[in-house]
Amino acid sequence: MFRSLLFAAVLFAVGTATASAAEIVRYRLTQWKSQHLHDATKSKKILATLEKLGCEIEKADHNGHIDVKYRCPEWKQLELKSHDDAHKWEAWLKQFKFETEHKH
């Protein structure tokens, strides 16, 4: 999971820098979801990615772990360079319980 989060952060940075993207992944998450994390480094990467995606975020540190709550009630989109990148992002978003649409 850590490797996929790191990959997602790098892919996000590269994918959103492209102005002439061929692939679009739309996403939203209307209800609050949460992650219960024990790894501070991993939680920072997740928080940074969710923030870049434009999500509302709540974070609480307690009892040696971090709770991250997030949602994104309005549709947003990622413009990506390739079909493969779009599928990887769609998988990451679905892992975090987002509703997605992939358009060419």
Residue 14 has pLDDT above 70, yes or no: no
Q: What is residue 50's predicted lDDT score, i.e. its pLDDT?
A: 96
Report field, pTM of the whole predicted structure over 0.85: no
Residue 2 has pLDDT above 80, yes or no: no
Q: Which CATH number fits domain 20-103: 3.30.70, 1.10.1200, 3.30.420, 2.30.30?
A: 3.30.70
Assess contact for 74 and 30: CB atoms under 8 A.
Answer: no
Assess contact for 57 and 50: CB atoms under 8 A.
Answer: yes
Number of Cβ within a 10 Å radius of residue 54? 11
Q: What is residue 98's predicted lDDT score, i.e. its pLDDT?
A: 98
DSSP assignment string, the chain: -HHHHHHHHHHHHHHTT-SS-SEEEEEEEEEEEEEEE--HHHHHHHHHHHHHTT-EEEEEEETTEEEEEEEEEEEEEEEESSHHHHHHHHHHHHHTT-EEEEE-
Which sequence spans correspond to the domains of the chain? 20-103
Identify the sign of the CA torsion 71, 76, 79, 85. Answer: positive
Rounded distance between C-alpha atoms, residue 40 and residue 84, angstroms: 30
Digit-coded pLDDT (tens) for 40-96: 888 889 999 999 999 999 998 888 888 999 999 999 999 999 999 999 999 999 999
